[in-house]
Structure 1
Amino acid sequence: MKLSWIDIRKMGSGKEAIVQEALHARVDGILAADPVDLENLPPTVKKVLFPQGEALPESFGAADVVVVDPAKHGDPTELAALHPDVEFGRFVEIVDAETLEEACRSGRTDQWSVLLFRDPTKIPLEIVIAAASGAKGSLITVAQDVEEAEIIFGVLELGSDGVLMAPVRVGDASALKQAAEAGIPDLELVELEVTATAHVGMGERACVDTATYFRKDEGILVGSHSKGMILCVSETHPLPYMPTRPFRVNAGAIHSYTLAKDARTSYLSELRAGSKVTAVDIHGKTRLVTVGRVKIESRPLLSVDAVGPDGRTANLILQDDWHVRVLGPGGTVLNSTELKPGDKVLGYLPVADRHVGYPINEFCLEQ
């Protein structure tokens, strides 16, 4: 779980509204320069004191964490020995090789490291993350906005442990919290039994090309209905006459749903370069992947009907060609044109209906 901290030190008249929004959004920490600003915060949020450029106050008040600039306040390890009831962190502004090395040392040894990178490149952050790998402390990196926060959370795949951002308007704190929770929950896949297949003629199908490699037991969930999807495998497995393309899923007809981000569905026809889709493996483990392009072409189509253990059904219309494949139990690779009644495929049967892609508890009949 990534940490979301907001910085309220330079806020004006809108500070109270932003703090209340941040508390409602359940941000993890609020950072202030004055202990007074931390006094009435609830125990659900970490109270962080950082009097940057000023002397440390005689009392830290309700602060849980005190961030210090060693050149101004002293070494955090020594301060922690003097104040055992408070956690201490080190602020490092990274502007050159010397301060980069200081940040690496802090990441390896300090309980909290609050890092401000002056250069726009994320390579110094990559170096600090690598240097601090396995350490018990936490790296909190300053971001200018939510877009940068999303990048920081993903640097070197591990990402920074947390982000500190100064909101400029109501809504920013909630967006930061959402970015920190960008990971998507795993899914419970079920075995579906094929009940019928039929050649349904020509139509447009979509190949979803992503900016990542899929694993052999991984693909995307696709279905004609939002409450029943089948796991379509990528072109990771060898085929005669053509090279493997492990970034591609020959997914299905353009009307089909797939899982995107934020628990939403997207039509395959809506996906564009930069869209996000959910990659799923045979165990239900998920990750968001970025779409590089979608190839839509006219092809003969095959309809596959399947039923779950509880009687709920799924339908998938995909390209009618043997090299288009789905996944079965244990990662078995099944050619679509060879599917027959009684075969088992892996699928997902969500219970919620959908409105503009979002799950919603309402009546909706799909047939």
Structure 2
Amino acid sequence: MSWHGRELIIQLPKEHSESIAVLKACKENKVNGVIVNQHSLKLVKDSGITAYSESDLADVHIVNDVQGVKTAKAAGQTSVMVLQIESKADIEEAVAAARAGAIALIVDTSDWRIIPLENLIAELRGTGTKIYTKISTVKEIPTMFGVLERGVDGVVLAARVPAEIKRAKDKLVSLASLDIVIAKVEDVREVGMGDRACVDTGSILRLGEGMLVGSAANFLFLVHNESVGSEFTSPRPFRVNAGGIHSYILLPNGRTKYLSELECGSPILIANWKGQTDTAVVGRIKIERRPLKLVKARSGKQSGAVLVQDAETIRFVTKSGHPLAVTQLKKGDEIMVRAGKGAARHFGIEVDEFILEK
């Protein structure tokens, strides 16, 4: 399974007993492939998962140099090349492998992690050859898929326990696209004073990007960042004035939190009007008492509401990706929301029980 173009390949442990448990988790979590030694090759092939191995019987033949790519191609075999990126010469070898017919490169880097991958991604752009990079922990996944904004095509994780595979899959799911839909505004009105949360991140957000917040977990509004300045305010592209402290906010792992629960270091989900997502980290939460405005909207049979500060710098996102200030928002306007299934939430986790939020 590919999570919107992002692939997960697992390297099996050498110990047979460990590899059986890990392979079972690979199948349950629908990983893209498994790197395996010759002794466990039949086990992997019987499971139906794509087997990567140095054996000629593998689904994908692993080679270590350009000549190996050429030999595999002559024999009608699909091949990937494994290489260490430490110098410009290694980049040149990677390009040669791509031109020779390697469908992918499995790369490892030295202490310099990002710059070599940036160079490799730039060099291989347009060749059709995929780039898989080795990682040591699940925490590296968002970084690897964010290199040069395009990111690598997949990651290779040497997993020793099944739980690592589930964590890796959950991380990939969190980076996948969301269903962001158009909703029609039904009501906009002042509701008095209240406490709102301003979320300052450690990232520069772009036009059309924001956070998903709302009073109901199954109907979240895309609230735009403050990258657009005005005559009276400077741009603050790291900030989203997200709304009332009671509001749900969607996190990278698919769970929700109340805005009041966020703090410095909390991971946060960033989304745009197309549903493309990214992650950021909270640098600061500012909770202050401000005049609030109620916004209600509907998409199909679903409707929801959100409380936001009544100010020109608080903006929603239109279907063209442009910001629309709440001070200009009116009944009939169209804005972007995430309207999901009506699942209940228990400590931010979806649970299968009836709940009505309004």
TM-score of the pair, normalised by structure 1: 0.83
- Corresponding residue number in structure 1 for 2:296: 306
- Corresponding residue number in structure 2 for 1:30: 34
The 8 Å contact of residues 224 and 240 in structure 2, kept in 1 or not, is answered as: yes
Check if 1:184 corresponds to 2:179: no
Q: Mark the structure with the bigger radius of gyration.
A: 1
Superposition deviation, residue 256 in structure 1? 0.9
Provide the secondary structure at the position in 2 that maps to 1:168.
coil
The 8 Å contact of residues 86 and 116 in structure 2, kept in 1 or not, is answered as: no
CA–CA separation in structure 2 for the residues paired with 1:332 and 1:68:
48
Superposition deviation, residue 213 in structure 1? 3.4
The correspondence for 2:281, drawn from 288, 291, 305, is 291
The correspondence for 1:271, drawn from 254, 262, 266, is 262
Which residue identity lines up with residue 275 of structure 2 in the other structure?
Answer: K
CA–CA separation in structure 1 for the residues paired with 2:53 and 2:9:
12
The correspondence for 2:107, drawn from 101, 115, 119, is 115
- Corresponding residue number in structure 1 for 2:19: 15
Matches within 5 A, 1:147-186: 147-186=139-178
The 8 Å contact of residues 68 and 88 in structure 1, kept in 2 or not, is answered as: yes
Superposition deviation, residue 64 in structure 1? 1.0
Which residue identity lines up with residue 190 of structure 2 in the other structure?
Answer: A
Q: Please say which of residues 187-196 and 247-256 is displaced more in the overlay.
A: 187-196
Check if 1:233 corresponds to 2:224: yes
Provide the secondary structure at the position in 2 that maps to 1:135.
coil
- Corresponding residue number in structure 1 for 2:119: 127
Indicate how the Cα distance of structure 1 residues 143 and 232 shifts in structure 2: closer, same or farther if over 3 A, else same: closer
CA–CA separation in structure 2 for the residues paired with 1:321 and 1:292:
22
Provide the secondary structure at the position in 1 that maps to 2:290.
strand
The 8 Å contact of residues 95 and 119 in structure 1, kept in 2 or not, is answered as: no
CA–CA separation in structure 1 for the residues paired with 2:175 and 2:212:
17
Which residue identity lines up with residue 214 of structure 1 in the other structure?
Answer: L
- Corresponding residue number in structure 2 for 1:39: 42
Superposition deviation, residue 190 in structure 1? 2.8
- Corresponding residue number in structure 2 for 1:76: 69
Q: Please say which of residues 303-312 and 352-361 is displaced more in the overlay.
A: 303-312
- Corresponding residue number in structure 2 for 1:53: none
Indicate how the Cα distance of structure 1 residues 2 and 133 shifts in structure 2: closer, same or farther if over 3 A, else same: same
- Where does structure 1 lack aligned partners over 5 or more consecutive residues? 51-56
Q: CA-atom RMSD, angstroms?
A: 2.8
Superposition deviation, residue 324 in structure 1? 2.7
The 8 Å contact of residues 107 and 128 in structure 1, kept in 2 or not, is answered as: no
The 8 Å contact of residues 92 and 113 in structure 1, kept in 2 or not, is answered as: yes
Check if 1:281 corresponds to 2:280: no
Aligned length: 351
Percent of pairs identical after alignment? 28
Superposition deviation, residue 27 in structure 1? 1.3
- Corresponding residue number in structure 2 for 1:54: none
Check if 1:6 corresponds to 2:10: yes
Superposition deviation, residue 21 in structure 1? 1.4
The 8 Å contact of residues 264 and 357 in structure 1, kept in 2 or not, is answered as: yes
CA–CA separation in structure 1 for the residues paired with 2:89 and 2:281:
39
Which residue identity lines up with residue 38 of structure 1 in the other structure?
Answer: L
Superposition deviation, residue 129 in structure 1? 1.6
- Where does structure 2 lack aligned partners over 5 or more consecutive residues? none
Superposition deviation, residue 37 in structure 1? 1.5
The correspondence for 2:310, drawn from 297, 320, 333, is 320
Provide the secondary structure at the position in 2 that maps to 1:171.
helix
Superposition deviation, residue 77 in structure 1? 0.7
